[in-house]
Amino acid sequence: MIHLEHSIVIKSSIDKVYDIAENIAKFPDFMPHVKTSNMIKKQGNKRQVEMSAVVNGMKSHWISASTTEKNKRIQYSQVKGLCKVMRGEWLFNKVPEGTKITLIHNFDVGWPVIGNLIGRVIVKNWVDKYSHLTLGHIKSKAESHN
């Protein structure tokens, strides 16, 4: 299992930052790599979402389930997608500068031996790159005056 963590501090209120991060249906509006984000099912604080993105020029598609806890965390797990296991959480913490988001990924590619070695490197690089992009886009949106 590969474990990755990415954090960013945003000069904005935890309410605003959380609302942007939680509203994944709007991700295609401000994240160029996210092409679609469709709510499949929502019940209380639980939801299932189907998403697609272009990852390093390749189309990617997945379904994830998540549980939200307002202004604290969003826990998610992949239901269908590229990896055998993909799960983690978004953590939101108030800090003197505004809000700190920590994005945690735990994943296992689960491909046969040589594919697993290659996949671990490729998927790890993708997760690194797109986690930074996602957090950067949320920061930009939260710190804008719109």
Domain spans of the chain, in order of start: 2-143
The kind and range of the H/E element at 100 are: strand 98-108
> Which is more confident, 87 or 45?
45
The per-residue pLDDT for 4 is: 87
The per-residue pLDDT for 113 is: 64
Confidence band for 13, pLDDT divided at 50, 70 and 90: very high
- Four-CA torsion 13, 7, 121, 31, nearest 10 degrees: 20
Say whether pLDDT at 119 is over 70: no
> Which is more confident, 66 or 61?
66
**Tally of CB atoms within 10 A around 36:** 13
Strands of 58-69's sheet in order across: 2-10, 98-108, 85-95, 73-80, 58-69, 46-55, 34-43
Is it true that domain 2-143 has CATH number 3.30.530.20? yes
Region 129-141: what's the mean pLDDT? 90
- Which pTM value belongs to this model? 0.86
The per-residue pLDDT for 94 is: 97
Nearest to 55 by CA among 126, 105, 128: 126
The SS3 of residue 104 is strand
The per-residue pLDDT for 67 is: 95
Q: What is the pLDDT of residues 14-61, one digit of tens each?
A: 999 999 999 988 888 877 888 999 999 999 999 999 989 887 787 888
The SS3 of residue 103 is strand
Say whether pLDDT at 146 is over 60: no
Angle between helices 113-143 and 14-22 (to 10 degrees): 130
> Which is more confident, 59 or 97?
97
The per-residue pLDDT for 115 is: 61
Mean of pLDDT over the chain: 87
| 88 bridge partner residues | 76, 105
Report the DSSP pairing between strands 73-80 and 58-69. antiparallel
